[in-house]
């Protein structure tokens, strides 16, 4: 375990390319592996989570290579053509990777064993096994419905019609991916809209995906067996990664920093709306469409923030951004209330507990509830000086290193390695921008 200390600095600046979107990178590799012919992917996130998905698809028969110019080439096996993996598939820390793959495998006549690291092995998988069992796939899990999990894919899969009980793009996607190799119409209803990358990218690969906005929510349907045509995919920058340097700039006096090519899909952009409501000086420049998604260069300048109440309906569009929002809230004047966040308890860590403990260790007054947090902002300099346990969670690690940039005393995290799951260049980028991060 390598600790990392973040010291206060006088300003962050520069213009930086945003690493590829993690959600879209996983999906591009999976769908490429199901198309016959060559899919070419640019901007793929080369973080550990996505590399685990690439290895998984290789283990199931796809040919995947990276050329020296950073373009990834995937030769797929066709829907229904996945090969039985010879050994257990290790998904590391990646909840998205394993849950989506369980969906894919459920309707293929193969057996696959999935394992993961300590954090992933504690996360709930019943949420995907429950609907997928109705395809007639069989699952054997460790205690509590956790990894390791063996999936015996259905030989004659049945189509699903499933209402997702919690807002989860992973559950929605697992069901849709199972539908690809299933005769008949697979349909998912979600009460609250979650990120729509699976739907959009399936269409990009030529699948007829129907999306209906009904009073009960969004209904997404597709009819299998589907055929995927190979495609070119340009992965835009990940707003969930851009969030860290941008908030660092907003809270650190003297800063002016731009992250380029950031995905601004409204189902992912809730943090930016919230930061603006808090008074952050954010501008979206050069808005354009890249790879079928809206992107912008986002410029952030130091701003005096005020506390806000984040509406619960906004949670799905910023579900991964609450740790970094809590850091902004700690620096704001007044109280920030966040609610409707029960899902944060089952992310890479229990993020409500991890954020509350980390903020308290740094002199910030915070109250933790069953499904929310109230942060009492310092209205200026946060005392800092704390030691933060990150619980193997990359976003907790980055959030508290960001706090260190603007706190009166250095902030130290217990472990920096997990940052590589989603943002391998985080420390290099931040250092170039002017942050003072010391490993060891
Ligand atoms: C993701 C969905 C979200 C999010 C995760 C990525 C995806 O998880 O937290 O980081 O790519 O579908 P849930 O589906 O559990 O909300």
* Ligand 1 mutation target, pool 49, 119, 168, most atoms within 8 A of CB: 168
| Contact indicator for 242, 298 with CB cutoff of 8 Å | yes
- Check residue 84 and report its DSSP letter: P
pLDDT at 415 exceeding the cut of 90: yes
Percent of the chain clearing pLDDT 70 (strictly above):
100
- Looking at the CA of residue 346, tell me the nearest atom of ligand 1: 15
Tell me, using a 6 A CB cutoff, whether residue 6 lines ligand 1.
no
Domains and CATH numbers, the chain: 4-18+236-439 (3.65.10.10), 22-234 (3.65.10.10)
Q: How far is the CA of 381 from the centre of ligand 1 (A)?
A: 33
Q: What percent of the chain has pLDDT over 90?
A: 98
Q: What is the arithmetic mean of pLDDT over 116-139? A: 98
In degrees rounded to 5, what are phi and psi of residue 150? -105, 130
State the angle between helix axes of 95-106 and 22-34 in degrees (0 to 180), rounded to the nearest 10: 20
- Per-residue pLDDT at 135: 98
258 neighbors 299 (Cβ within 8 angstroms) = yes
Tell me the CA–centroid distance for residue 120 and ligand 1, in Å: 13
Give residue 197 CA to ligand 1 midpoint distance, Å: 11
**Predicted confidence (pLDDT) at residue 348 exceeds the cutoff of 90:** yes
Contact 310, 337 (CB under 8 A): yes
Residue 9 contacts residue 436 (beta carbons within 8 Å): yes
E-assigned strands of 248-395? 256-263, 281-290, 293-301, 309-310, 335-338, 365-369, 372-376, 382-384, 387-388
Q: How far apart are CA 324 and CA 417, in angstroms?
A: 18
Q: Is 96 helix (H, G, I), strand (E, B) or coil?
A: helix
Q: Which of these, 20, 16, 37, 14, lies nearest to 290 by C-alpha position?
A: 20
241 lines ligand 1 (CB under 6 A): no
Please report which residue ranges of 70-155 form alpha helices under DSSP H. Answer: 95-106, 126-133
Is a pLDDT exceeding 90 seen at residue 380?
A: no
What's the whole-number average pLDDT of the chain? 98
pLDDT at res. 1: 87
Instruction: Please identify, by atom number, the ligand 1 atom nearest to the C-alpha of residue 168.
Output: 14
Report which DSSP code applies to 205.
Answer: T
Render pLDDT for 27-56 as a digit per residue (tens, 0 to 9): 999 999 999 999 999 999 999 999 999 999
Confidence of residue 155 (pLDDT cuts 50, 70, 90): very high
CA angle 296, 301, 306 (to 5 degrees): 105
Is residue 171 within 8 Å of residue 159, measured between CB atoms?
Answer: no
Distance CA 283, CA 72 (A): 32
The sheet with strand 217-224 has its strands ordered as 161-164, 184-190, 217-224, 209-214
Per-residue pLDDT reduced to its tens digit, 181-232 = 999 999 999 999 999 999 999 999 999 999 999 889 999 999 999 999 999 9
Q: Whose CA is nearest to atom 16 of ligand 1?
A: 168
pTM for this prediction? 0.98
| Residue of 169, 315, 349 best suited for mutating to test ligand 1, as the one with most atoms within 8 Å of CB | 169
**Dihedral sign computed on CA atoms, order 58, 291, 104, 394:** positive
Residue nearest to atom 13 of ligand 1 (CA): 168
| Phi, psi torsion values for 286, nearest 5 degrees | 55, 45
Distance in Å, CA 168 to ligand 1 centroid: 6
pLDDT for residue 94 is more than 90 = yes
Q: What would the mean pLDDT of 92-101 be, rounded to a whole number?
A: 98
The pLDDT score that the predictor gives to residue 290 is: 87
The pLDDT value recorded for residue 236 is 98
Taking the C-alpha atoms of residue 194 and residue 202, their distance in angstroms, rounded to an integer, is 16
- Per-residue pLDDT, averaged over 271-284, amounts to 98
């Amino acid at each position: 375990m390598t600790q990392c200390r973040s010291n206060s600095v006088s300003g962050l600046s520069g213009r930086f390319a945003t690493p590829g979107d993690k959600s879209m990178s996983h999906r591009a590799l999976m769908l490429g592996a199901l198309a016959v012919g060559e899919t070419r992917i640019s901007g793929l996130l080369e973080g550990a989570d996505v590399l685990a998905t690439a290895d998984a698809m290789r283990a199931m028969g796809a040919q995947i290579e990276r050329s020296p110019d950073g373009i990834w080439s995937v030769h797929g096996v066709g829907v229904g053509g996945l090969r039985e993996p010879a050994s257990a598939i290790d998904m590391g820390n990646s909840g998205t990777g394993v849950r989506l793959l369980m969906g894919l495998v459920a309707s293929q006549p193969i057996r696959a064993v999935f394992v993961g690291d300590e954090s992933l092995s504690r996360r709930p998988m019943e949420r995907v096994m429950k609907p997928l069992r109705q395809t007639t796939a069989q699952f054997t899990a460790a205690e509590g419905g956790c990894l390791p999990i063996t999936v015996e894919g259905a030989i004659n899969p049945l189509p699903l019609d499933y209402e997702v009980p919690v807002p989860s793009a992973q559950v929605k996607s697992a069901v849709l991916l199972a539908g690809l190799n299933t005769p008949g119409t697979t349909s998912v209803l979600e009460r609250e809209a979650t990120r729509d990358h699976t739907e959009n990218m399936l269409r990009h690969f030529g699948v007829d995906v129907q999306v209906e906005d009904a009073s009960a929510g969004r209904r997404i349907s597709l009819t299998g067996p589907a055929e995927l045509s190979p495609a070119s995919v340009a992965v835009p920058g990940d707003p969930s990664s851009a969030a860290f340097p941008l908030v660092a700039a907003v809270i650190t006096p003297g800063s002016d920093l731009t992250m380029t090519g950031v995905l601004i899909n409204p189902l992912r952009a809730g943090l930016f709306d919230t930061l603006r409501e808090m008074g952050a000086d954010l501008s979206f420049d050069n808005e354009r469409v890249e790879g079928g998604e809206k992107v912008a260069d986002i410029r952030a300048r130091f701003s005096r923030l005020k506390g806000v109440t984040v509406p619960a309906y906004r949670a799905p569009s910023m579900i991964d951004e609450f740790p970094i929002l809590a850091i902004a809230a700690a620096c704001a004047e007044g109280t920030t209330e966040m609610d409707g966040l029960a899902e944060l308890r089952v992310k890479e860590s229990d993020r409500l507990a991890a954020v509350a403990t980390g903020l308290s260790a740094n002199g910030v007054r915070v109250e933790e509830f069953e499904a929310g947090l109230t942060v009492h902002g310092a209205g200026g300099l946060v005392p800092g000086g704390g030691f933060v346990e990150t619980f193997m969670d990359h976003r907790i690690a980055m959030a508290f290193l960001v706090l260190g940039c603007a706190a009166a005393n250095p902030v130290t995290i217990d472990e920096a390695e997990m940052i590589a799951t989603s943002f391998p260049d985080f420390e290099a980028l931040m250092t170039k921008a002017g942050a003072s991060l010391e490993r060891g």
